[in-house]
């Protein structure tokens, strides 16, 4: 039986960083992975495939600047897009495996299940073994939440994992759930020419994003013929019998909404959130419970109620991003082995890879209003920047929120080309309690989109001066 200082379960972003950090601190580390491939849902079904798909679609359709946004120039097959994605996934996988090998992290393939508080049984198809550990980091991530009433068949009714295995591009698709996954895929697939209907139970998509940015996004989604059904919920989904389709016309799926509307399509994708992958971990043998969505409760050090068992990444819930999962895994290993550590930063950005992309850091106008914080707003439109003109991005916008008295930056919200990169300028300024004067008094490269920060700061300054 092999013994490790630390056993990590799961090779997604949280598990990778926990394992490598512990190994850098001189510890013996084993990492368990139930799939044949390393990288987690991040690399195989989540972040990377969806972003590779997006990049491929943008390149193949020539959707670079928004002005050129159009229907595909040539017929693009799902194979074209998957070919692009697989190239990225393969090289990312090699990088992860190399990193683990170089750092002496022992990769053990199989499904891990606790037998007691320090023993994990690792089961493979034809064999099994037991490993023991002084400490554990559970980094098993999530799987798509399912509605038991739905007829999932992985062909016509799929979740976001199943989407990646479709054999052909559907003509039409209903997407249920206007969260991050539903919104990103709606934009990507519509750009490919799929006729999309997006159904969201709330009154707008992505409720945590600045309302003006969401209004702009929803406007542009409609411009590419995405039908938004907001404030609507799906009551029933039926698959048609191909031989006999009264009420289905030529479509294969019919969704009935609570409002009584029928929506017909070739395919329906459900993305209504995700559940912690904890069911088969044998947590009861360690004395751990999960919440109703399978998530593990941890303290600020990522320590569960059983002190030598830590958990990090999506399995602990919010914010459930690859970016935050990596840092949680690293911090967990630092806490276990006494490495120098910081606490998780209060300020971190969100990047939403819709088309156009969106990014935000800090507070929204809604939050500032609710908290009674006096603020002013500065806006820069990309079309005011030479770089925006060069890119043909007429719709991009950067909104800066500053404290009315201290002039400190409180939030930055961007929609448009490069939003997910540009946001980090605002993040750095905010982390150092920067004011809008930094942007006014400094010079930026020209022509760049970063110039939008200066334009927005001047705009806010003008409003403050006349207030």
Ligand X SMILES: NC(=O)c1ccc[n+]([C@@H]2O[C@H](COP(=O)([O-])OP(=O)(O)OC[C@H]3O[C@@H](n4cnc5c(N)ncnc54)[C@H](O)[C@@H]3O)[C@@H](O)[C@H]2O)c1
3-state secondary structure of 252: coil
Cβ-based nearer residue to ligand FAD, 128 or 280: 280
Contact at 8 Å (CB) between 398 and 412? yes
Does residue 397 interact with ligand X by CB under 6 A? no
Give the Cα separation of 24 and 41 in Å (integer).
25
Binding status of residue 463 toward ligand FAD by CB under 6 A = no
| Residue 23 is a binding residue for ligand FAD (CB under 6 A) | no
- The correct pick among 30, 65, 133, 141 for binding ligand FAD (CB under 6 A) is 141
51 is in an annotated binding site: yes
Q: What is the closest distance, in whole angstroms, from the C-beta atom of residue 273 to ligand X in the complex?
A: 4
- Give the Cβ contact number of residue 390 at 10 Å: 12
Count of residues that bind ligand FAD according to CB under 6 A: 39
Choice from 89, 96, 181, 252 touching ligand FAD (CB under 6 A): 181
What is the signed CA dihedral for 320, 321, 327, 328, rounded to 10 degrees? Answer: 10
> Cβ closer to ligand X: 351 or 356?
351
3-state secondary structure of 310: strand
DSSP assignment of 120-172 equals EEEE-SS-EEEEEEEEEEE---EEE---TTS---SSSEEEHHHHTT-SS--SE
329 scored as a contact of ligand X (CB under 6 A): no
From 57, 274, 83, select the one nearest 181 (Cα to Cα).
Answer: 274
- Beta bridge mates, 415: 358, 397
Q: Is 184 in the site for ligand X (CB under 6 A)?
A: yes
Q: Which is nearer to ligand FAD, 329 or 378 (CB)?
A: 329
Least distance CB 151 / ligand X (angstroms): 15
Question: Token pair 């709330």 is at which residue?
Answer: 202
CA-to-CA distance for 335 and 299, rounded, in angstroms? 12
β-strands 142-144, 274-276 pairing: antiparallel
Q: CB under 5 to 8 A by kind: which of ligand X, ligand FAD, none does 41 bind?
A: ligand FAD
Pick 30 or 49: Cβ nearer ligand X? 49
Q: What is the DSSP string of 408-421?
A: BEEEEEEESTTHHH
| String of contacts with ligand X for each residue 401-440, x by CB under 6 A | ----------------------------------------
The tokens for 115 are 């037998």
Q: Which CB, 323 or 369, lies closer to ligand FAD?
A: 323
CA distances to 108, 324, 406 from 333, in Å: 19, 15, 38
| Residue 66 beta carbon to ligand FAD: minimum distance, rounded to whole angstroms | 20
* 352 lies in the site for ligand X, by CB under 6 A: yes
Does residue 427 touch ligand FAD according to CB under 6 A? no
Q: Report the residue closest to ligand X, judged by CB.
A: 179
Q: How many CB atoms lie within 10 A of CB 251?
A: 21
Site string for ligand FAD, 41-60 (x = CB under 6 A): xx---xx--xx---------
Of the residues 317, 351, 418, 426, which one makes contact with ligand X according to CB under 6 A: 351
Out of 170, 182, 313, 418, the residue judged to bind ligand X by CB under 6 A: 182
Distance from the Cα of residue 270 to its chain's centroid: 16
Determine if 29 is a binding residue for ligand X (CB under 6 A): no
CA torsion angle for 57, 58, 63, 65 (degrees, to 10)?
160
Residues placed in the known binding site for NAD(+): 177-184, 200, 273
Residues placed in the known binding site: 51, 112, 177-184, 200, 273, 314
Applying CB under 6 A, which residues contact ligand FAD? 9-15, 32-35, 40-42, 46-47, 50-51, 111-112, 139-142, 160, 181, 277, 280-281, 313-315, 320-323, 325, 351, 353
């Amino acid at each position: 039986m092999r013994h490790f200082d630390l056993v990590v379960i799961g090779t997604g972003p949280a598990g990778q960083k926990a394992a490598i950090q512990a190994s850098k601190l001189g510890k013996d580390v084993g990492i368990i992975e139930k799939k044949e491939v390393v990288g987690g849902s991040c690399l195989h079904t989540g972040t990377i495939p969806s972003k590779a798909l997006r990049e491929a679609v943008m390149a193949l359709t020539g959707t670079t600047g928004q002005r050129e946004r159009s229907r595909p120039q040539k017929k693009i097959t799902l194979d074209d897009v998957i070919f692009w994605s697989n190239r990225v996934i393969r090289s990312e996988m090699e990088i992860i495996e190399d990193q683990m090998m170089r750092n002496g992290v022992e990769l053990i393939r199989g499904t891990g299940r606790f037998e007691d508080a320090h023993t994990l049984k690792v089961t493979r198809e034809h064999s099994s073994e037991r490993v023991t550990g002084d400490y554990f980091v559970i980094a098993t991530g999530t799987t798509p939440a399912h509605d038991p009433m739905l007829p999932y068949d992985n062909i016509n009714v799929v979740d976001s994992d199943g989407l990646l295995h479709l054999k052909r591009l559907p003509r039409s698709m209903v997407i249920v759930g206007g969260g991050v996954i539903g919104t990103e895929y709606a934009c990507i697939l519509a750009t490919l020419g799929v006729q999309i209907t997006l159904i969201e139970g709330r009154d707008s998509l992505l409720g945590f994003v600045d309302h003006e940015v969401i209004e702009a996004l929803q406007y542009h989604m409609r411009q590419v013929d995405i039908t938004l059904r907001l404030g609507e919920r799906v009551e029933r989904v039926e698959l048609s019998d191909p031989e006999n389709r009264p009420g289905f016309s030529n479509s294969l799926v019919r969704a009935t909404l609570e409002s009584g509307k029928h929506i017909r399509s070739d395919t329906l994708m459900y993305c209504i959130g995700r559940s912690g992958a904890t069911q088969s971990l044998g947590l009861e043998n360690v004395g751990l419970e999960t919440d109703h969505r399978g998530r593990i409760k941890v303290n600020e050090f990522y320590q569960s109620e059983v002190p030598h068992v830590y958990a990090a990444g999506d399995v602990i819930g919010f914010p459930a991003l690859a970016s935050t999962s990596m840092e949680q895994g690293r911090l967990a290993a630092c806490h276990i082995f006494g490495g120098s550590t910081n606490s998780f930063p209060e300020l971190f950005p969100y990047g939403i890879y819709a088309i156009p992309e969106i990014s935000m850091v800090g507070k929204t106008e809604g939050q500032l209003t609710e908290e009674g914080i006096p603020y002013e707003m500065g806006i820069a439109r990309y079309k005011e920047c030479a770089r925006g003109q060069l890119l043909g991005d007429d719709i991009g916008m950067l909104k800066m929120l500053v404290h009315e008295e201290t002039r400190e930056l409180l939030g930055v919200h961007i929609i448009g080309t490069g939003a997910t990169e540009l946001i980090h300028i605002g993040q750095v300024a905010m982390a150092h309690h920067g004011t809008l004067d930094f942007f006014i008094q400094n010079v930026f490269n020209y022509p760049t989109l970063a110039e939008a920060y200066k334009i927005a700061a001047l705009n806010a300054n003008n409003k403050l001066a006349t207030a």
